Amino acid sequence: MNLKDLIAVSGISGVFRIAGNRNNGLIIEDLDTGKRKFAPARKHQFTPLESIAIYTDDDSTELAKVFSNMLEQFEDNPPVNPNGKPDELREYFADVLPDFDRDQVSSGDIKKVIKWFNFLKERNLLSLEDDAPETTEAVKEEEKA
């Protein structure tokens, strides 16, 4: 799962791809249409999805790991409606990430994670495969060639 070029932009719902960088903002690309637009830094805050973590009782867990857990449980435990009751949201999130910090993670945070997950899942941008570097065995095969 690669969340590297994906960002959330304050004031604009959804998730976007970074298309370009300017000194006074970012050029963001809509994942559905591919349409690009400029988002000024004076008006918006940008949060790369790969830098987001969820507080846990011990430390924190990367958003990619939370999304992986949600994907693994998708058949048996599909995401609840993000506009559902806070108790339902917390109960679902406890299944996905049992040790999440109930004091620091608000219902709004859980809603946002579920909305992002649904948004990316609908566009087939989530997968269980790691985007890890090639294994040493694969590198050795290339060296032989």
pLDDT in tens, 19-59: 999 999 999 999 999 999 999 999 999 999 999 999 999 99
- Within-domain flag for 16: yes
Terminal alpha carbon distance of the chain: 29
| Domain residue limits at 116 | 52-122
Residue 51 is classified by DSSP as: G
Q: Is there a single domain that holds both residue 10 and residue 44? A: yes
Cα–Cα distance measured from residue 90 to residue 97, given in angstroms and rounded to the nearest whole number: 10
Structure tokens, 47: 């949060």
- 74 contacts 128 by C-beta, under 8 angstroms: no
Q: How many domains does the chain have?
A: 2
Do 70 and 17 lie in a common domain?
A: no
Contact 43, 82 (CB under 8 A): no
Same domain (yes/no): 60, 115: yes
Give the pTM.
0.83
Residues 73, 32, single domain; the answer is no
Using alpha carbons, list the distances in angstroms from residue 128 to 20, 55, 72, 73, 141. Answer: 28, 22, 8, 11, 25
Confidence check: pLDDT of 84 > 70? yes
